[in-house]
Amino acid sequence: MAIRDISIDNAPLSEKIAETIRDYILKGVLKPGERLTEPKLSDILGISRTPIREALRILEMDGFVTIIPRRGAVVTDVTNKDVDEIFVLKIRLESLAAKLAVENMLDADIDKLRDINAKLERFNDNKNVAGLIKANSEFHDFFIRKSENQRLIKFLESLQSQFKRATAYSFTEAGRIVSVIEEHKEIVEAFKRRDVNLVEKLVERHIQNGWKFIKSKVAKKKTS
């Protein structure tokens, strides 16, 4: 197996390597449990170990690999049970954070959410999966921080890598990406109206839709 076609643009090389490896994990080319040692990846990619080491750290932060001392990185797995356990927390805690955030949202904050969602649209146009994952996290993190409940914020931060690993499947199909962007727009408008109940309802629905979609992708991956 060889990993090829790493496109180099203005992003750091380590991020481009991470994006390529992430793409192969999502496509199933790199299997759960597979070891990704620096020497092996260096030989495959024809690149020095330093940016590969940095790329693996990025992937570990996003939950795609686990780095084991003296063994290298191992591709993590996502099961239906994992998805259910992650999303039963995500749907309750993020909708609560959104509800608490309503009274703290300034007009400038609403504009910021719109700007982040506009980035999602640009990344979708450019087929930039890494950018989509990052911008989606930024959108959710923003209203979570606006809840101004430090214990809730810290708890959600502790689950962030697990959320990223699971929700990444949302950005593997164009149809779901478009739905994510539209659902974000509805949430922003509800924040603008300062409608606490609607914000909570829309965030719950948004996460529920992602939950169903991701479970279908995980099930499909297991049978392929």
**pLDDT, tens digit (0-9, with 9 covering 90-100), for 115-142:** 999 999 999 998 888 889 989 999 999 9
What's residue 6's pLDDT? 44
Using alpha carbons, select from 120, 202, 97, 214 the residue that is nearest to residue 167.
214
Q: Which residues of the chain have pLDDT under 50?
A: 1-9
SS3 4: coil
**Burial of residue 56, with CB atoms counted within 10 A of its CB: 0-12 exposed, 13-18 middle, 19 or more buried:** buried
Using alpha carbons, select from 113, 160, 121 the residue that is nearest to residue 139.
113
Report yes or no: 156 and 94 within 8 Å, Cβ to Cβ.
yes
Structure token pair of residue 20? 């390529």
What's residue 222's pLDDT? 64
Phi, psi of 88 (to 5 degrees): -65, -30
CA distances from 98 to 9, 103, 171, 211 (A): 36, 10, 22, 18
What's residue 85's pLDDT? 93
Give the C-alpha separation, 30 to 143, whole Å: 34
Residue 15, strand partner residues: none
Q: What pTM did the predictor assign?
A: 0.82
What's residue 224's pLDDT? 61
Structure token pair of residue 43? 């030989």
CA distances from 76 to 23, 130, 166, 172, 213 (A): 14, 18, 11, 18, 20
CA distances from 71 to 5, 18, 222 (A): 27, 19, 26
SS3 200: helix
Report yes or no: 6 and 16 within 8 Å, Cβ to Cβ.
yes
What's residue 125's pLDDT? 93
Give the C-alpha separation, 15 to 9, whole Å: 10
What residue type is 143 in one-letter code? F
Using alpha carbons, select from 68, 86, 77 the residue that is nearest to residue 26.
77
Give the C-alpha separation, 217 to 97, whole Å: 27
Give 65's DSSP letter: E
